[in-house]
Structure 1
Amino acid sequence: MGCTAPDDMGREFIVSCGELEHPHIRDLCIMRQAIKSKEPFTCQDLNNASLREVCRRFVAYEKKDPELCRSIESENQRDLCLWRLAENTSEEALCQGIESCQVKDECLIEVAEKTRDPNTCFKVGDQVKKDLCILMLSRKTGNKSLCYEISETQTLNHCHKTMI
């Protein structure tokens, strides 16, 4: 499999990525091949280790493969991969596999917003973010009773005022 490259006349022809001289262009070609073919092993041909992880993340997106996300060594890339899949599939369980508390909370909030499920808000670890998630859902769903689940007084009062 190869990439297209313009010749001197502006036409495109197929070249093997390995034949490209410039390392950055070669890596972009390899990454494009991996994503297009949904083949994570192609990412191993990249020279840069961090770029290999990014490549695997993009292949996992294309394949919608949470196991491929979980196999990514870099915690940051693994978390971003799971977050993106959860965002696309609305699967809250994918957020639970995220190690960074901040990223996990953001993931849960996005899934809660998409699914309009307050139970997902209740799983947010940071209390301020949890309250804001509940406030957002109370507005989106018109459910006043959700306001009573907010712990911070100012946010609780704001919820009641906006729901009148």
Structure 2
Amino acid sequence: MANDKPGLESAGGSRIRRLLGSRNVLAMLAVLVVVLVVITWPSRFDGLFKARTVDKALEKLDTCKVESDLAARNNCYRELAFSANNTYFCGKVFNSSSISTSCFAKLAIEANSKKLCDDINDVKARGFCTFELAITRVEMPLCNNIDDRTWKNHCYTQLALLTGKPDSCTQIEGSDYAAECYLALAKNASSGPACAYIIDQVKKDKCFLTVGTANSDPLLCAEIAEPADRWTCYHRIAKKTGNVELCNRVSSVFRQNCVDAVREAFPNAT
């Protein structure tokens, strides 16, 4: 019996030591949590504190809140946003998406900021904003990011005109819009190669006719598949330049009309 007591005391001591050990661990964890909170507090709330400080500074510039008329107040906020160069006041515009979006868009364009464009909720306004950036930077990937189809196609067309290359036109959705892009490029470049990219034959012929006549280039007339349009092309260039020989390339049915038109425009032409 005398030997049992030390055993009990030993077992009890072990339990006490384990209990004290677990309490020490909990205490250490608690201290660690407090330290982490203290360390992370500035980084977590510093931005919020700064934002509130900035907002208070901007509020001091707010002279629009005294306007009783809503339309006048909204216009005031837009102008204030422009003068202060800060989108904070664009967000103050109430119940007028057109004023609000135009406000955000203008500041984004002036700042050359894709992020500000992306933050615009209205699809068309966002498209216009991104279009302006794409043209300013001459970057096709920006056109790719436009959701509004009209602005996207317009973006590709303008880039084609800026670069003088048809690559952008190939990205356009819809063959009709692509044809318009190639035609615009051909006119702008005063040459016909861009016309060859047009799939629709009627539109392709129109492109060669337009550019060929504008540049007095009979070689482009020869690219026209439709005979009537080809003859028209030769006729117009002959009348424009006085080159009566081009009338020989017109159908015999209309050849004399071509010759008469040239002689009327150039009485001394032979």
TM-score range relative to shorter protein: 0.7 to 0.9
Alignment-mate amino acid for residue 18 of structure 1: G
* TM-aligned CA deviation for residue 136 of structure 1: 1.9
Mapped contact 2:186–2:192 kept (Cα < 8 A): yes
| Structure with max Cα Rg | 2
What CA deviation, in whole Å up to 9, does each residue of 1:49-80 have, x standing for no partner?
A: 44323322222223222111112234443222
What 5-or-longer segments of structure 2 have no aligned partner? 1-57, 68-75, 239-270
Q: How many residue pairs align between the two structures? A: 160
Mapped contact 1:35–1:62 kept (Cα < 8 A): no
Give the equivalent residue in structure 1 for 2:128.
Answer: 54
Mapping of residues 102-117 of structure 1, within 5 Å: 102-117=176-191
Matched, 1:20 2:93: yes
Give the equivalent residue in structure 1 for 2:267.
Answer: none
What CA deviation, in whole Å up to 9, does each residue of 1:26-47 have, x standing for no partner?
A: 2221111111111111023323
Distance 2:151 2:230 in 1: 36
Give the equivalent residue in structure 2 for 1:122.
Answer: 196
Mapped contact 2:102–2:125 kept (Cα < 8 A): no
Between 1:16-25 and 1:151-160, the stretch displaced more is 16-25
* TM-aligned CA deviation for residue 137 of structure 1: 2.2
Higher strand share: 1
Give the equivalent residue in structure 1 for 2:213.
Answer: 139
Identity %: 25
Distance 1:18 1:94 in 2: 35
RCO higher in 1 or 2 (8 Å CA, sep ≥ 6)?
1
Distance 2:126 2:237 in 1: 49
Question: Could you tell me which of 160, 163, 174 is aligned with 1:86?
Answer: 160
Mapped contact 1:101–1:125 kept (Cα < 8 A): yes
TM-score, scaled to structure 1? 0.81
Alignment-mate amino acid for residue 139 of structure 1: T
Question: Could you tell me which of 140, 148, 166 is aligned with 1:66?
Answer: 140
Distance 1:6 1:147 in 2: 65
Distance 1:46 1:76 in 2: 17
Distance 1:73 1:133 in 2: 29
What 5-or-longer segments of structure 1 have no aligned partner? none
The CA RMSD over aligned residues, in Å, is 2.7
Distance 1:159 1:145 in 2: 10
* TM-aligned CA deviation for residue 6 of structure 1: 8.2
Question: Could you tell me which of 156, 159, 162 is aligned with 2:230?
Answer: 156
What CA deviation, in whole Å up to 9, does each residue of 1:117-160 have, x standing for no partner?
A: 22211111221221121112222322223222111121011112
